[in-house]
Structure 1
Amino acid sequence: MSATVNPPTLQILAREPEGFSIWNGPPFANGQPHIRLERVPCSSAKFSENGSRLLVIKSTSVISIYDCSNDVTEIRSFEIPSVLAAALSPCGTFLQTFQKPSNPQDKNVSLWEIKTGVPVYQQFQKNMSKTTWPTIQFSSDETIACRMATNEIQFFDAKDFAKGIISKVRIPGVSAMELSKSPGSYVAAYVPESKGVPASVQIFSCNKDKQSQAVARRSFFRCSTAQLHWNNGSTGLLVVAQADVDKTNQSYYGESKLNYLTTDGSHEGLVPLLMPAKATIFDKKCNPILELGTGPYNTVRWNPKGKFICLAGFGNLPGDMAFWDYSEKKVLGTTRAECSVTSEWSPDGCYFMTATTAPRLQIDNGIKIFRYDGALYFKKMFSKLFQADWKPEAPERFGGIADLIKSVDTLTIIDQTKKQAEDPKSSQAPPKASMNSAQKPASYRPPQASMNTTQKPAAYRPPQVKQAAAVQAELVGGNASQGPSKNALRNQKRREKQKEKKAAETVR
């Protein structure tokens, strides 16, 4: 397949404390990205799934919607008091908001049609969590819309919400659901364990005439929560079943099992994961077809074209990355991106971006962009960075991956010395040239990493506290609380008073 005529330009959204800006993505002319949209003050910004619209929360009551199809222009602003969360539908047709309820009669969840600026659906919802937001889920083409209610899943006419609920699937005890995206053919529902009855995941058709029976079902004990992940094509569902306590005493963090269900009934069961942990690619019947080996890895990112894979170890791991060519079954290169918080392939599948962001990490914030083979192409440091995202685009709009690779192979690695003209307030790049993946030895660690050993270790935070903070950051915008908490300030004052008291006693 040859390259398409006039493929879209890659774009990157970067959000700092002062707001967000949008750059043109690589390849960069003169080694620097071109600013497509100058900084706009905000507390949160997120693209729609197809990249056509951008949601920007500017204050606790003002939400702006930008059209990103050509130039980035503001097309509508909503004044919504006490808004706690907001989300765009996949094609950017609707804005969904959650407000803090003052009484049970308040309809605090609203679905707004962006074109007209009026609500097309409203309801009351007592609270919100990552598993229940957004309240109304859409398929990628917005032809299917549904929501979870007490003991059932309700479906709407996505073209006319005035019709109300057009069909229901009764599922006693349902606590989580996930609609398949492309196409929106099926919906998965999770029912937790209760009174000796095992937990279960069931898959139902979105076709009103075929909803009487589940097309697939999987039951399991020792399950506190479940994560539901649909594949592209809506033919298979991965279920990560997790228990807070591992009764075998093999793990302090509980027990996790990976299950796989297909919508055609050809497979339903556990994915056979071997020990020690290793990276393995399975076929649709869970048969291993390629071993990627062992290593300090906990992250897998598939290239949008399906050709390349990045295997990485982020979070508490040192940041090692291995880039694989899946079609050729070989490693293209290895490198390291220390302290990475987020990572993702560009929509054309040629670049891989990692970002170190606050509030997860308060120092060494920055962006790194690697080529498909792991060679470092671009790096930019920030005094503080909250977010770095590629603008979504359909991968097929960029043409064949072979032609794209040829164009990337002609690029030279951008030397760090070319970055001195950057804004000194937002850039902390070291003056000397950085090493690319071919120059870095396997044990290479930057000076910052070795210096961290003298820092005071952070206080222990239980997993559930970390998860709650992560959910709040994702829903509200990531920088809702930048300063110390009230308890921290109170404890600090108490310690200061104790020091003063001891000093006075010493003097006497």
Structure 2
Amino acid sequence: MAPPVPLLAVRGSEGTSVVCGPPQCGTDAAFQRDQRVSRCMTFSKDGTLFGWTNGQNVSVVKTCDGSVLSTFDLPKTCLLQFSPLNNVLVTWQPYTKTQDSPQGDTNLRLWDTRSGQLIRSLFQKKVEEWCPSWSDDEQLAVRIVNNELHFYENNNFDTIANKLHLQKVSSFALSPGAPPYKVAVYVPGIKGAPSFVRLYQYPSLGGPTAALANKSFFKADRVCLQWNQKASCVLVTASCDVDKSGASYYGQQTLHFLSVGGETAIVQLAKNGPIYDVCWSPSSSEFCVVYGFMPAKASIFNLRCEPVFDFGTGPRNSAYYSPQGHLLVLAGFGNLQGQMEVWDVKKYKQVSKPQAADSTFLSWCPDGEHLLTATCSPRLRVSNGYQIFHYTGAVLHRQEVGVGSELWEVQWQPFPAGVFPERPIKYQEAPSELGSTQAPPTQAYRPPALRHLPAAPSTKLHEEEPPQDLRSAAEKNPSKAALKNQRKREAKKAARQEPKPETAAPSNSAPVSSSQSEPSSGNPETDKKIRNVKKKLKAIEELKEQQEAGKVLQKNQLEKLQKEAELLKELSELQVTCSW
């Protein structure tokens, strides 16, 4: 069966339209262009529904045939969003007060998507955190109200099922995926106290001791919380507007890591400067960070916050993983020239280097084969338009808006995971009638009189760093023994995590202490020496396993390995003393 054709929604001064994506880009016959000005538009999470405003009402249609599902008389609506299973449509309009209503009217409304009935009206004065967050199965919904998080179950917004009260809580992020549900909350620091992020598992929300993990830090005016797809880890990008040291005009940023197992860390970056972008891989096993003063560095880190690959330096400020996770785009937009790098993240090999000048937006097509770049207003009010191209750099479709018109927004139709499987990566550029976006290599200008002479050594304003694979040889190509040891360690770890069956013990039996499990020499000092030597030998065994797995040991760790024979001899002498 042929895969579906993704749709592309376009919103601008000429109205709202839906067009077909690659391979045959063009107008979707099932959707009639709405020429009225639209403030917002959105697809449902599975892509089966599409909703938009036109200054008079809110319309919801089915993407398969364009038939109208619901219409809502809401002329002032500015924001729209569907719940994950399309049961609820959320609309928001600015909060206002009138003489007839000095307290203001409710401006956040929850609607039944299919019947069009109003479920609940709520107050939501601020646009930040305006929409409730749902779990993927819609069994849990969360919204922030003053200093509390309110939890609702089964889309029943008449009853608050649970609350989490934290003074001055300003943002949160609900975990994706299946139960158990977890939530990350951020509380800014006040009066010299540090800011902190805590992870909780619903419904255990009672106080700091119930937190799965807790990370405190200073120098944070706001944070960005990002869960990975497996809901096992959270990345926290903390930003402050002013760098008091004066090192950066852009303020100061730090990156923190938390896991639901309680581990926390600060991600150490190899270059000073701002953090431009952070994104998780769809595999949830690694993440990419773009950071440092220009030319910026980009690095991939594993879940131990160790760098595994460094892409070197370049004019970039954003990173985008493909939906399948096999490709990564590093791009430089905004005040940069729109240069992009497409990388194969399994082989760490560059596929292409296309360019999209003056772009303000980039998005992967759900098929993982095509990219969309756009120049949108109000960021840029000239040369508005969008183009679709293959990841190898070939332009497949280009659309520019008319003179005097503006493009405001473009969106791909989303699809559930697994609809578009991962395909083998091609390094040869795909054929296209519109040519390539890859910029040809440029050479410095030389006057005609000097062209027959040897070229002078080139000088650059910045010293460029090449890509560097930071994995050890054993990590790249692990041996059979290393793989076997890794499986053993994983099996032992799984066995420790499994709950042991409770066995009934006699009521008169006393617990056996650790001191009773080892024979005693009768001399406490000798027993203490034996325990210390065994502890050191155990640490040496662990270092041996790490070395066999391919980890590069530090100098002090290698010195410990050299002391094994000496420790074994000392243990033997102490045990002989015990026998006497």
TM bracket (short chain): 0.7 to 0.9
Out of 75, 78, 86, which is 2:72 matched to? 78
Distance (Å, rounded) in 2 between the aligned partners of 1:18 and 1:183: 41
Answer with 1 or 2: which has the greater Rg: 2
Matched, 1:340 2:359: yes
Compared CA separation, residues 400 and 221, structure 1 to 2 (3 A): closer
Kindly provide the amino acid, as one letter, of the partner of residue 409 in structure 2: Q
Shift of 1:92: 2.4
Give the corresponding residue for 2:221: 224
SS at match of 1:27: coil
Give the corresponding residue for 1:94: 88
Distance (Å, rounded) in 1 between the aligned partners of 2:421 and 2:220: 43
Compared CA separation, residues 329 and 84, structure 1 to 2 (3 A): closer
Distance (Å, rounded) in 2 between the aligned partners of 1:358 and 1:210: 43
Matched, 1:33 2:29: no
SS at match of 1:40: coil
Out of 174, 181, 184, which is 2:176 matched to? 181
Give the corresponding residue for 2:62: 67
Give the corresponding residue for 1:451: none
Shift of 1:210: 6.2
Q: Which ranges of structure 2 fall in alignment gaps of 5 or more residues?
A: 273-291, 445-580
Shift of 1:211: 5.5
Give the corresponding residue for 1:370: 389
RMSD: 2.3
TM-score by length of 2: 0.66
TM-score by length of 1: 0.75
Give the corresponding residue for 1:191: 187
Shift of 1:251: 0.8
Give the corresponding residue for 2:372: 353
Shift of 1:19: 1.1
Matched, 1:156 2:160: no
Distance (Å, rounded) in 1 between the aligned partners of 2:70 and 2:391: 38
Q: Does the 8 Å CA contact 2:394/2:436 hold for their aligned counterparts? A: no
Give the corresponding residue for 2:17: 21
Shift of 1:263: 1.4
Q: Does the 8 Å CA contact 1:322/1:374 hold for their aligned counterparts? A: no
Give the corresponding residue for 2:480: none
Shift of 1:443: 7.8
Q: Does the 8 Å CA contact 2:235/2:255 hold for their aligned counterparts? A: yes
Q: Does the 8 Å CA contact 1:49/1:140 hold for their aligned counterparts? A: no
Distance (Å, rounded) in 2 between the aligned partners of 1:351 and 1:409: 15
Trace 1:71-150 onto structure 2 (pairs within 5 A): 71-80=65-74, 82-99=76-93, 100-102=95-97, 103-104=102-103, 106-125=105-124, 127-130=125-128, 132-134=129-131, 136-150=132-146
Kindly provide the amino acid, as one letter, of the partner of residue 334 in structure 2: G
Compared CA separation, residues 33 and 147, structure 1 to 2 (3 A): same
Give the corresponding residue for 1:401: 423
Give the corresponding residue for 1:252: 249
Distance (Å, rounded) in 2 between the aligned partners of 1:141 and 1:442: 53
Q: Which ranges of structure 1 fall in alignment gaps of 5 or more residues?
A: 416-433, 445-508
Give the corresponding residue for 1:172: 167
Shift of 1:140: 3.0
Structure with greater contact order relative to length (CA < 8 Å, sep ≥ 6): 1
SS at match of 2:239: strand
Give the corresponding residue for 2:235: 238
Q: Does the 8 Å CA contact 2:222/2:239 hold for their aligned counterparts? A: yes
Distance (Å, rounded) in 2 between the aligned partners of 1:173 and 1:92: 32
Shift of 1:279: 0.5
- Deviation per residue, 1:276-298 (Å, 9 max, x gap): 63100001111111111110110
Q: Does the 8 Å CA contact 2:53/2:77 hold for their aligned counterparts? A: no
Compared CA separation, residues 442 and 45, structure 1 to 2 (3 A): farther
Give the corresponding residue for 1:491: none
Q: Does the 8 Å CA contact 2:58/2:74 hold for their aligned counterparts? A: yes
SS at match of 1:161: coil
Out of 314, 323, 326, which is 1:307 matched to? 326
Give the corresponding residue for 1:418: none
Q: Does the 8 Å CA contact 1:305/1:401 hold for their aligned counterparts? A: no
Shift of 1:329: 1.1
Shift of 1:411: 5.1
Matched, 1:263 2:283: no
Distance (Å, rounded) in 2 between the aligned partners of 1:238 and 1:78: 38
Distance (Å, rounded) in 2 between the aligned partners of 1:9 and 1:414: 20
Kindly provide the amino acid, as one letter, of the partner of residue 235 in structure 2: L
Compared CA separation, residues 210 and 253, structure 1 to 2 (3 A): closer
Distance (Å, rounded) in 1 between the aligned partners of 2:369 and 2:154: 35
Distance (Å, rounded) in 2 between the aligned partners of 1:341 and 1:13: 17
Compared CA separation, residues 105 and 321, structure 1 to 2 (3 A): closer
Q: Does the 8 Å CA contact 1:228/1:239 hold for their aligned counterparts? A: yes
Kindly provide the amino acid, as one letter, of the partner of residue 383 in structure 2: D
Give the corresponding residue for 2:512: none
Compared CA separation, residues 11 and 378, structure 1 to 2 (3 A): same
Identity of aligned residues (%): 32
Identify, as 1 or 2, the structure richer in strand.
1
Shift of 1:315: 0.8
Give the corresponding residue for 1:441: 441
Distance (Å, rounded) in 2 between the aligned partners of 1:374 and 1:189: 41
Compared CA separation, residues 366 and 440, structure 1 to 2 (3 A): farther
- Deviation per residue, 1:317-359 (Å, 9 max, x gap): 1111000001111001102111111101110101111111112
Distance (Å, rounded) in 1 between the aligned partners of 2:198 and 2:344: 35
Q: Does the 8 Å CA contact 1:174/1:191 hold for their aligned counterparts? A: yes
Compared CA separation, residues 23 and 183, structure 1 to 2 (3 A): same
Distance (Å, rounded) in 2 between the aligned partners of 1:91 and 1:195: 43
Give the corresponding residue for 1:386: 408
Compared CA separation, residues 140 and 85, structure 1 to 2 (3 A): same
SS at match of 2:419: helix
Distance (Å, rounded) in 2 between the aligned partners of 1:410 and 1:314: 23
Distance (Å, rounded) in 2 between the aligned partners of 1:395 and 1:251: 40
Compared CA separation, residues 280 and 316, structure 1 to 2 (3 A): same
Q: Does the 8 Å CA contact 2:393/2:436 hold for their aligned counterparts? A: no
Kindly provide the amino acid, as one letter, of the partner of residue 11 in structure 2: R
Q: Does the 8 Å CA contact 2:388/2:395 hold for their aligned counterparts? A: yes
Distance (Å, rounded) in 1 between the aligned partners of 2:73 and 2:326: 45
Out of 37, 41, 44, which is 1:45 matched to? 41
Distance (Å, rounded) in 2 between the aligned partners of 1:309 and 1:12: 22
Compared CA separation, residues 413 and 194, structure 1 to 2 (3 A): same
Distance (Å, rounded) in 2 between the aligned partners of 1:268 and 1:77: 47
Distance (Å, rounded) in 2 between the aligned partners of 1:352 and 1:309: 11
Trace 1:271-290 onto structure 2 (pairs within 5 A): 271-275=267-271, 277=292, 278-290=297-309
Give the corresponding residue for 2:344: 325
Distance (Å, rounded) in 2 between the aligned partners of 1:317 and 1:443: 20
Distance (Å, rounded) in 2 between the aligned partners of 1:283 and 1:211: 32
